[in-house]
A and B are shown apart, each in its own frame.
Chain A
């Protein structure tokens, strides 16, 4: 029992809860996904659940269902995730959890790190290294993963070299010197 809303002697009105009871056997994590980034979300996908108090411990779980009703105000989709194995001791209900959903792999396309995507003359694209100088190539991007890798649908061939990091904004006249890492920027 998690809450008692009425004590002996309280005048109860119709429809008022008296006690709140929790079934500890079925806990769900209510997850909110940004609508813009929720393509491919469906029931049954495996998910990793990290509880705020869990010190980064990852619990395996899965998406139980995606709610048919999205939140129009926050522009989010709501889904319920379940633990594969309910953690013991039981986490406090209402605790913040972080859920990472594993999507099925996509067909192979060229990918670039998201640092390479830049905008020039109002168009998104990448700077390609050609014969020691650079040229801007507009691209069409697909999905992006959490490690910052972006799928390129159009505009790039496999094996082309692109500029990922630069010390200033680039123009076609920029002189480039190819370095594997920028000086002083080693992680």
Chain B
């Protein structure tokens, strides 16, 4: 038996291919949108993975350090280290800012880490070039997405840093690439004011008679020194001993140090449920609408494609073709169009995903779901068309 569907497609292959291409691009856009959504969630997840922490110790009653600002004293890590179950604790600061190289600037999250041995919490886990930070000042390790290269001089607030290493996929929850700098510099970048305001603050203090008394030498100097002190960090990252219970250690720290502690699960909930909740819902909503619209268009295309052949179908009926043969022809064409469209869409999405400024994650599982949805859509749409085709009166072939 000859394949009616195949013959029909060959008969009008140009039309079939163009329809497939259009459908494919539409499916590609839908897949990409799904990828954008997944990428957003993944950005938040890698932020947690890359910090290498099991617990986040932050200021009491804040959702820090990512969702809210938090500042704690920089010697807190020492008391945290003494808690049961804690293997290692490290100070960290986060500051999202514009980082300048020459005349251009890049939006980045500046992370202040203790330049200890690589592998301590907060440090980048792996490098793609260069080395880790070794000096306690003016060195930086940047994410490759910033476009910086080892040896570049970059400017963060008041100081110039040399890029000594590159890493990859180190991003903030908003998708901004990270730049790691030594903790002391980061504290300055975050808390130290500019020269003008320091000078003005000194003059303000000097003109205050109660702080600059004639009979008390040295008082003014002490006051100024205490004003320019800066001993805060945003959070302490804690790595637990193997086998330690995070909740138990967290409860200890909460009880005795009176600080807020988040475990990995709680942090995930804060990031996904609070920080990126609205923007991801926004994308999710758009994805749903796009998927529904794509489905409707696929259905209409298949319906009109069959309706265009209604005369030929009538002829087939006139010459006594079985209904089953006609049904299978329409169904095969619809599914064929779906498969072709999905292939084009998948290729297109894979091709253009790397050009997006933020991370687009195309998951194989999403592709499978998408494929199943496309095929189901095609079958459903062809049922409509089949009903119309079967109802057609054979007389239409000669009448009309």
Contacts and interface: CB of A to CB of B under 8 A. Distances in A.
A37 B116 CA distance: 8
Nearest to B127: A115
Given A13-B217, A117-B117, A118-B119, A164 B127 contact: yes
B150 A187 contact: yes
Contact of B128 (A113, A117, A167): A167
A115 B117 contact: no
B125 A118 contact: yes
B239 A182 contact: no
A148 interface: yes
A34 B75 CA distance: 14
A144 B136 contact: no
Interface stretch (B21-29, B58-66, B164-172, B337-345): B164-172
B116 A117 contact: no
Contact of B131 (A10, A15, A113, A166): A113
A90 interface: no
A181 B130 CA distance: 11
A148 B164 contact: yes
Contacts of B118: 114-115, 117-118
B214 interface: yes
B128 A119 contact: no
Given A5-B217, A115-B165, A148-B164, A185 B134 contact: no
Interface in B29-63: 52
A169 B119 contact: no
The 3 residue pairs across chains A and B that have the minimum distance between CB atoms: A148-B131, A115-B127, A119-B119
A117 B125 CA distance: 9
A185 B130 CA distance: 9
B134 A146 contact: yes
Contacts of B119: 117-119, 124
A78 to B, nearest CB: 14
Interface of B: 52, 75, 87, 116-119, 125-132, 134-137, 144, 149-151, 164-166, 168-169, 214-215, 217, 231, 239, 242
A175 interface: no
B150 A114 contact: no
Interface string A145-181: 1111010000000000000111111100000000001
B270 to A, nearest CB: 23
Q: Is the interface of B mostly helix, strand, loop or mixed?
A: loop
Given A114-B118, A115-B126, A187-B130, A168 B168 contact: yes
B390 to A, nearest CB: 54
Given A115-B165, A166-B128, 17 more contacts: A15-B217, A17-B217, A34-B136, A73-B231, A113-B131, A115-B127, A115-B130, A117-B132, A118-B118, A119-B52, A122-B87, A144-B134, A148-B132, A167-B128, A185-B166, A187-B149, A187-B151
Given A13-B217, A118-B118, A119-B52, A182 B129 contact: yes
- Place the interface of chain A in its size category: 35 or more
A125 to B, nearest CB: 9
Find the residue from A113, A147, A165 having the highest chain B CB count within 10 A. Answer: A165
Nearest to B165: A115
Contact of B127 (A11, A141, A165): A165
Nearest to B118: A117
A57 to B, nearest CB: 17
B135 A115 contact: no
Given A11-B214, A168-B169, A182 B128 contact: yes
A117 B131 CA distance: 10
A165 B129 contact: yes
Nearest to A34: B136
Contacts of B117: 114, 117, 124, 141, 144, 150
A16 interface: yes
B126 A114 contact: no
A34 B119 CA distance: 19
A34 B185 CA distance: 14
A72 B165 CA distance: 32
Contacts of B87: 122
A46 B127 CA distance: 33
A106 interface: no
B128 A13 contact: no
A73 B125 CA distance: 29
Contacts of B165: 115, 148
A36 interface: yes
Contacts of B116: 36
A186 B216 CA distance: 61
B102 to A, nearest CB: 18
Nearest to B50: A169
A97 B97 CA distance: 27
Contacts of A117: 117-119, 132
B136 A165 contact: no
B129 A185 contact: yes
Interface string A63-76: 00000000001000
